Chains A and B, each alone.
Chain A
Amino acid sequence: MNGSSLHRIRLQRGTALAVRVGAEIRPDEVIGLRREPLAPILVPVARPLRRKPDEIAEAMRVRPGSRVRAGEVLARINGHEVAAPQTGLVLGVSRGDGSILLAPLGPEEPVIGHVRGRVHAIEENALVVEVPAATVTGVGGSGDAVHGELVVGVHNPEDELRAAAIDVGATGKILVGGSRASAEALTRARAMGVAGIVLGGVLDKELRDFEAIQRRRREAGGMTGSFGLLLLEGFGKVGIDPQLFSWFRAHAGRMASLFGADGLLYIYDAGSAPTRRPLPRVGDRIVAHRRPFQGRGGVVVALLEDLHATSSGIPTSMALVRFEDGRLAPVPLANIEATVAPDGR
Chain B
Amino acid sequence: MRASQRSAAALPTTTEVSMLVDNGSAWTKGAVVGRSRGRWRIAAHAAQPSSWQDADLVAGLAAHLGGHADPRVSERLQRILADAPRISCHTPSRPGRLALAAVSADLSGRAARRAAESAGWVVAEAATVDDGRSAAERLVALQAAEVDAWLLAGGFDAEGGEMALDMAGLVAAARGDGRSPVVWAGSAQLAARVASLFEPGAVRAVANPRPSPEREEPLPLRRYLEALLERLVEPGGARQLAPVGFGRAVAELARASQLRIAGVDLGARYATWIAADEGGHAESRILASGGLASPSITVPGGPARIAHALPIAIDELAVADALQNLRARPGALPQTEEELSIVHGAARALLAELAADESVPDGADLLIGAGRTVAGAPRPAQAMQLLLDGVRPLGVTQLAIDVAGVLPPLGALGNDEIAEGIGTLRDDLLTPLGAAVVSQGGRAGHVAFRVTVHRVGWPSLGPIEVRAGQLTLLPLGRGQVAELEIELESGVTIGTPRRARRSHATVSGGVVGLALDARDVPLVLPRRTDDRRAVLAAWRDALQREPTRPAGSAA
Contact = CB atoms under 8 A, between A and B. Distances in A.
Nearest to A206: B317
Given A290-B325, A315-B1, A91 B166 contact: yes
Interface string A85-97: 0000111111110
Nearest to A312: B340
B334 A204 contact: no
B121 interface: no
A310 B198 CA distance: 58
Interface string B371-394: 000001011000000000000000
Given A205-B320, A317-B2, A63 B337 contact: no
B333 A316 contact: yes
A91 B378 contact: no
* From A65, A294, A332, residue with most partner B Cβ within 10 Å: A65
Interface residues on A, range: 35 or more
A332 B335 contact: yes
Given A14-B176, A63-B197, A312-B378, A91 B333 contact: no
B440 interface: no
Contacts of B60: 317
B136 interface: yes
A125 B175 CA distance: 11
Contact of A204 (B49, B173, B321, B379): B321
A315 to B, nearest CB: 6
* From A63, A312, A317, residue with most partner B Cβ within 10 Å: A312
B329 A204 contact: no
B172 A64 contact: yes
A311 B324 contact: no
Nearest to B60: A317
B135 A91 contact: yes
Nearest to B144: A12
A313 interface: yes
B37 interface: no
Contacts of A316: 1-2, 333
Nearest to B3: A307
B553 to A, nearest CB: 31
A164 interface: no
Nearest to B331: A334
Contact of B5 (A14, A235, A315): A315
Contact of A235 (B328, B336, B337): B328
A307 B329 CA distance: 22
B108 interface: no
Nearest to A205: B317
Interface in A93-122: 93-96, 101, 103
A221 to B, nearest CB: 14
Interface in B475-521: none
Interface in A28-71: 36-40, 63-65, 67
Interface in B120-143: 134-136, 139-140, 143
B169 A92 contact: yes
A6 interface: no
A309 interface: yes
A309 B378 CA distance: 9
B93 interface: no
Nearest to B340: A312
B136 A93 contact: no
Contacts of A220: none
A226 to B, nearest CB: 15
A132 interface: no
Nearest to B328: A139
A88 to B, nearest CB: 9
B531 interface: no
Nearest to B145: A13
B305 to A, nearest CB: 14
B303 interface: yes
* From B134, B146, B303, residue with most partner A Cβ within 10 Å: B146
A328 interface: no
Nearest to B329: A289
B170 A92 contact: yes
B174 to A, nearest CB: 6
A124 B179 contact: yes
Contact of A203 (B49, B317, B331, B378): B317
Contact of B332 (A10, A36, A292, A334): A334
Interface string B1-34: 1110100000000000000000000000000000
A100 to B, nearest CB: 10
Nearest to A330: B335
Nearest to A263: B328
A217 interface: no
A28 to B, nearest CB: 22
B179 A103 contact: no
Nearest to B172: A65
A228 interface: no
Nearest to B318: A236
Contacts of A306: 3
A139 B303 contact: no
A10 B172 contact: no
A329 B298 CA distance: 31
B135 A335 contact: no
* From B53, B178, B324, B338, residue with most partner A Cβ within 10 Å: B324
Contacts of A3: none
Contact of A294 (B143, B172, B325, B340): B325
Contacts of A199: none
Contacts of B334: 290, 310, 312, 314
B56 interface: yes
B335 A92 contact: no
Nearest to B320: A204
Interface in A278-292: 278-279, 289-292
Please provide the 8 A-B residue pairs with the shortest distance between their CB atoms, ordered closest to farther. Answer: A64-B169, A313-B378, A92-B169, A65-B172, A139-B328, A312-B340, A235-B324, A204-B320
18 contacts: A12-B143, A39-B134, A39-B136, A64-B169, A64-B173, A125-B146, A208-B300, A279-B52, A291-B338, A292-B335, A307-B3, A310-B335, A312-B336, A313-B378, A317-B2, A317-B60, A332-B335, A334-B331
Given A39-B136, A307-B3, 17 more contacts: A13-B178, A64-B168, A64-B172, A64-B197, A65-B173, A91-B169, A125-B146, A204-B324, A205-B320, A231-B328, A278-B49, A278-B51, A278-B52, A289-B329, A314-B334, A315-B1, A334-B48
